[in-house]
Amino acid sequence: MLKAIYPGSFDPVTNGHLDIINRAVELCDSLVVAVARNSEKKNLFSAEERIQMLSSCCYKDNNKIEIVEFGGLLADYCVENGISVIVRGLRAIADFEFEYAMALMNKRLAPAVDTVFLIASNENSFVSSRIVREVVSLDGDVSSLVPSCILPLLKKRLRN
């Protein structure tokens, strides 16, 4: 039974995240999509809101996917929950340095847990939550970059 985790801020979830989730779930028996509560970033949405967005818009009907919130170290969460693989998406070379350091640190903290990288699909290779937030705040159109149910929530939060 291969249990994997896809951790992130998901602030908000984008089509790039969905691409990774859809491909990762095919590679494992179960996938935990884990929303970081105490990410160092200052988030636009609370952890509860980010979980709600992921669950209500995306995955409520897929019983291989569980959406959780986590605090503390990702490595500890993996060990405590029998997770052997961490999935991360790689968009560009620019992602690599941070991801490399994180993978090695997680390996040191939890030697039985490996990190697997999925290369973002071409059409999503430039999409990030940060870019989506900025474009929405300046009244730009991101309808092809985020799930449709996310759009109204984003506009409400950023344009008020």
Please give the C-alpha separations between residue 59 and each of 24, 55, 83, 92, 155, in angstroms, as whole numbers.
13, 5, 20, 27, 22
Cα dihedral across residues 85, 90, 124, 40: positive or negative: positive
Shortest Cβ 145–ligand PNS spacing (Å): 16
Binding-site member from 25, 28, 67, 74 for ligand PNS (CB under 6 A)? 74
**Catalytic choice (50, 88, 91, 133):** 91
Helices then strands, counting H and E runs in the chain, come out as: 6, 5
**Catalytic choice (17, 50, 88, 133):** 17
Map the footprint of ligand PNS across residues 77-116, applying CB under 6 A.
Answer: 102, 105-106
CA 138 to CA 73: how far, in whole Å?
35
Shortest Cβ 9–ligand PNS spacing (Å): 4
Map the footprint of ligand PNS across residues 6-35, applying CB under 6 A.
Answer: 7-9
Q: Is 88 a catalytic residue?
A: no
Q: Is 17 a catalytic residue?
A: yes
CA 79 to CA 111: how far, in whole Å?
10
Please give the C-alpha separations between residue 151 and each of 45, 46, 144, 154, in angstroms, as whole numbers.
13, 16, 10, 5
The span from the first CA to the last CA of the chain, in angstroms, equals: 46
**Catalytic choice (9, 50, 129, 133):** 129
Q: Looking at 5-13, 18-26, 50-58, 143-151, which segment touches ligand PNS (CB under 6 A)?
A: 5-13
Q: Is 129 a catalytic residue?
A: yes
List residues near ligand PNS by CB under 6 A: 7-9, 36, 39, 41, 73-74, 102, 105-106
Q: Catalogue the active-site residues.
A: 17, 41, 91, 129
